[in-house]
Amino acid sequence: MPHQPTMIRHLRCGAALALCAALAACSSESADNTDPLDGTMGPTGTLGNTNTSTTASVSNTVTSTSFGAANSTTSSGPTTGGLGVTTASVTSVASSSASSTGAGGNTTGGGSNTMGPSSTSGGGASSTDGGTNDASSSAGGTTGGPSTCESSGVAGSEVLMIGESFIAFSHGITHTIEDLARAAGALDAGESYRDNSISGTTLAGGGNSIPNQYQSGVDQGPVRVVLMDGGGNDCLQANNPSGALSAAEGLFQNMQENGTEKVVYFFYPDPIGGQFSSLKSCLDTLRPQMQALCEGLTSPECYWLDLREVWNGHPEYTDDGIHPPPAGDAATGEAIWEVMVDNCVAQ
């Protein structure tokens, strides 16, 4: 009996040792189940190689790094997301990657930026159980292109200017258009337009009339495009709008017969000064009639430009009330070129 306490002590020590061993084994097993990247408890400690069994508990919120900052939430069911396959958790990631799936969305194209975080039911952008809320900025963007006009193959010598002193006063309008055409690649550096305009001429009448300027151009070579004014001197010299209109009808018929394809008809701005009141009245009568004639043509096609829209509010565009100085030449030439570009004339 004296040795009984010693036996009891041995039994108690043995039980304590067994309990310590069991606790040590549990602690080792728990340590093996810790994900080294995000600290969550999963079935294994390796990234992206999890089994299909579920864990007893999942942390509610985890912060990790996946090519950027990741905010994780929890959900049920197997998912594909984050950096691997996880059981019973969903990862919503705001990432910047070249090309990835399940990291805040499907990012395609180099340097795509997904703005996340994505909200999914089933994890990542590859989930079929829910969508992603991604605002993506894809590489490339909107690409601006050249003019939509196909090359017309019109040579500079096939473009003919005809009219009177509004053009011929300095020929600055012609030079402005040529400069713009060269800058756009529509006119070669060594080319120029033919300018047959002559001061003091009319639509109706003979001699150097505007119809005869056209015929002279045709006699010299093909004329595919005509840039013209006309009717101003018919009003100024003879107050004859009907004669101008009739002559223009004959001119357009001749253009059709000679293969001219397109015409830009630019009609005068309002004259400035009380001495031009009768001129203005005649032009106001002729303008809508000539516009209707031009816009009704199909062969050649005719494009109308009312220069009042360009000149109004710009007294600096004329020195004498009717003719353009350099500032008026430039503004008029630019407006004509714009019509040419918009309608693929000599492009």
Q: pLDDT, tens digit, for every residue of 129-154?
A: 333 333 333 333 333 334 689 888 99
Other Cβ atoms within 10 Å of 178 Cβ, number: 22
Residues recorded for the chain: 347
* 289 CA to centre of own chain: 38
Q: pLDDT, tens digit, for every residue of 162-210?
A: 999 999 999 999 999 999 999 999 999 999 999 999 999 999 988 999 9
- Dihedral-angle region of residue 4 (phi above 0 means left; psi in -120 to 50 means alpha; beta otherwise): alpha
> CA-to-CA distance for 296 and 235, rounded, in angstroms?
23
**Topology given in CATH for the domain delimited by 156-342:** Rossmann fold (3.40.50)
- Dihedral-angle region of residue 104 (phi above 0 means left; psi in -120 to 50 means alpha; beta otherwise): left
Which pLDDT does position 147 carry in this prediction?
Answer: 61
Q: Can you list the residues of the chain whose pLDDT is less than 50? A: 1-146
Please give the model's pTM, rounded to 2 decimal places.
Answer: 0.59
> CA-to-CA distance for 39 and 169, rounded, in angstroms?
86
Q: Where are the domains of the chain?
A: 36-133, 156-342
Which pLDDT does position 148 carry in this prediction?
Answer: 83
Which pLDDT does position 81 carry in this prediction?
Answer: 37
> CA-to-CA distance for 204 and 243, rounded, in angstroms?
6
> CA-to-CA distance for 22 and 206, rounded, in angstroms?
122
Helix (H, G, I), strand (E, B), or coil: what is residue 281? helix
